[in-house]
């Protein structure tokens, strides 16, 4: 017996549209089964996970805080993936962006100027782009698999951050804890509406990035180039587009947005560098990108959904006493069902039976 996937000649537009919703429904159904196995009331658990975090204004601010880096990173990854360049290392670019953007408030901590915050954001985006340039260089000029190189560089970035905050950038007044100096007020990303919560401008950056990239993909020549080269490199060459230049563009662009997300998270939410600055935003953003169908506007909605899993997971730990690992399980289930639904929409499953001849199959 052999199982093969055969591409469907006609793809249902209806099923392609509802595929993310179907994946979400299946995730909730299997999540309810998981809670039942854990000995929890499924209705109460799902309510704690997905409804309670939406009932308070301050909680909505927290949702925006967690959605901002997911949307920023996923929008950049959408450009990369649609051009058929697989940047899996956004978590590392997020980390390097946080490091490079934190250089000014940590090293020049006595400098107080309105210029410091814009320069931090610029350095963060530049750091993420330069770190993403490493797998771009290896793929463009040495034909190296970008999935492996970008993924392995994540651990380089995380270990570099750990080394910095335990060494050269450790706060001399921090009682030997592995944290940097707290950022000065001028280096902190301001809140959008401070009276009601602490959601900061990173969420505005994410919305602007999503709208800007949607416009680029829909109405500009560069967006057309991304789509054409992603679907057929040969057709792109006939149109005069360079696949090598697109590798550089997609990696630098996605790395810059990941780096901007990194420094925005550190400046707006944490206020200093520490060994752990991300619960895995760079990897979760991959799920966000595919759940949003690699459409920047869809990514805004999917980013809020995945942010809710983080927020709901924290709330459920307190209210019903479940492990924080449940959040990861939900995210993994969601990615599994998104990919499974898409596969069944675009392909038919064929089972081929082999006859046994002369005692051999």
Of 181, 180, 85, 175, which Cα lies nearest the Cα of 133? 85
d(CA 292, CA 307): 13
| pLDDT tens, residue by residue, 171-212 | 998 888 999 999 999 999 999 988 888 999 999 999 999 999
| pLDDT band for position 53 (cuts 50, 70, 90) | confident
Would you say 130 and 112 are in contact if contact means Cβ atoms under 8 Å apart? Answer: no
pLDDT of 360 above 60? no
Q: Of residues 51 and 86, which shows the higher confidence score? A: 86
Give the pLDDT mean for 11-27. 85
Q: What is the pLDDT of residue 358?
A: 52
Percent of the chain exceeding pLDDT 90 equals 66
**Given 3-state DSSP classes, what are the helix, strand and coil percentages for the chain, each rounded to the nearest 5?**
70, 5, 25
**pLDDT score recorded for residue 65:** 95
Q: What is the DSSP string of 87-118?
A: ---HHHHHHHHHHHHTHHHHHTTT---TTHHH
CA distance linking residue 137 with residue 133, whole number of Å: 6
| pLDDT surpassing 60 at residue 99 | yes
Question: Percent of the chain scored above 70 by pLDDT?
Answer: 98
pLDDT at 325 over 90: no
pLDDT recorded at residue 338: 87
Q: What separation, in Å, do the N-terminal and C-terminal C-alpha atoms of the chain show?
A: 9
Among candidate residues 162, 163, 103, the one with its CA nearest the CA of residue 127: 103
Q: Which residues pair with 4 in a beta bridge?
A: 350
Q: Shortest CA distance to 87 belongs to which of 207, 214, 205, 252? A: 252
Backbone φ and ψ for 349, nearest 5 degrees, come out as -95, 125
pLDDT band for position 313 (50/70/90)? confident
Question: Worst-scoring range by mean pLDDT, 286-295, 332-341, 352-361?
Answer: 352-361
- Name the average pLDDT for the chain: 91
The model's pLDDT over 164-174, given as tens digits with 9 standing for 90+, comes to 999 999 999 88
Q: Is the model's pTM score more than 0.85?
A: yes
Q: How confident is the model at residue 355 (pLDDT cuts 50, 70, 90)?
A: low
With a cut of 90, say whether residue 304 has pLDDT above it: yes
Task: Give the tens place of pLDDT for each residue, 117-131.
Answer: 999 999 999 999 999
Q: Who's near 290: CB < 8 A, 6+ residues apart?
A: 335, 338, 339, 342
DSSP 360: B
**Burial degree of 6 (CB within 10 A; 0-12, 13-18, 19+):** exposed
Q: What pLDDT, in 10s, does the model give residues 224-236?
A: 999 999 999 999 9
Q: Which residue in 254, 331, 336 sits closest to 78, CA to CA?
A: 254
How does residue 357 score in pLDDT terms, banded at 50, 70 and 90? low
C-alpha distances out from residue 138 to 117, 158, 282, Å? 33, 21, 21
Pick the closest to residue 136 from 74, 93, 196 (CA basis): 93
Is residue 67's pLDDT more than 70? yes
The model's confidence at residue 322, banded by pLDDT at 50, 70 and 90, is confident
Using CA atoms, how far apart are residues 297 and 295, in angstroms rounded to an integer?
Answer: 6
Instruction: For residues 103 and 124, give the distance between their C-alpha atoms in angstroms, rounded to a whole number.
Output: 9
Distance, C-alpha 228 to centroid of its chain: 24
Mean pLDDT of 30-48: 89
């Amino acid at each position: 017996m052999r199982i093969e996937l055969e591409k469907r000649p006609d793809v249902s537009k209806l099923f392609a549209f509802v595929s993310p919703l179907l994946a979400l429904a299946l995730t909730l159904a299997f999540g309810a089964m998981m809670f039942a196995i854990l000995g929890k009331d499924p209705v109460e658990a799902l309510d704690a996970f997905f409804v309670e975090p939406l009932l308070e204004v301050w909680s909505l601010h927290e949702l925006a805080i967690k959605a901002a880096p997911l949307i920023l990173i996923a929008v950049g990854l959408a450009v990369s993936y649609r051009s058929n360049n697989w940047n899996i290392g956004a978590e590392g670019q997020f980390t390097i962006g946080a490091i490079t953007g934190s250089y000014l408030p940590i090293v020049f901590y006595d400098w107080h100027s309105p210029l410091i915050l814009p320069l931090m954001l610029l350095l963060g985006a530049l750091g993420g782009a330069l770190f993403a340039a490493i797998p771009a260089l290896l793929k463009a000029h040495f034909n190296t698999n970008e999935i492996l190189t970008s993924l392995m560089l994540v651990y380089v970035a995380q270990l570099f951050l750990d080394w910095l905050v335990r060494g050269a950038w450790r706060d001399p007044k921090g009682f030997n804890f592995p944290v940097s100096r707290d950022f000065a007020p001028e280096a902190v990303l301001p809140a959008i509406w401070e009276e009601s919560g602490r959601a900061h401008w990173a969420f505005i950056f994410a919305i602007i990035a999503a709208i800007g990239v949607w416009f680029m993909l829909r109405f500009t020549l560069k967006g057309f180039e991304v789509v054409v080269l992603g679907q057929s490199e040969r057709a792109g060459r006939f149109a005069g587009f360079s696949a090598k230049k697109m590798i550089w563009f997609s990696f630098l662009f996605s790395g810059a947005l990941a780096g901007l997300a990194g420094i925005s998270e550190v400046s707006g939410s944490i206020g200093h560098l520490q060994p752990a600055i991300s619960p895995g935003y760079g990897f979760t953003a991959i799920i966000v990108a595919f759940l949003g169908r690699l459409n920047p506007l869809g990514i805004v909605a999917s980013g809020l959904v995945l942010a809710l899993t983080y927020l709901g997971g924290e709330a459920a730990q307190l209210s019903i006493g479940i492990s924080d690992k449940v959040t990861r399980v939900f995210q993994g289930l969601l990615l599994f069902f998104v990919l499974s639904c898409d596969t069944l929409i675009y392909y038919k499953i064929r089972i081929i039976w082999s006859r046994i001849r002369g005692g051999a199959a």
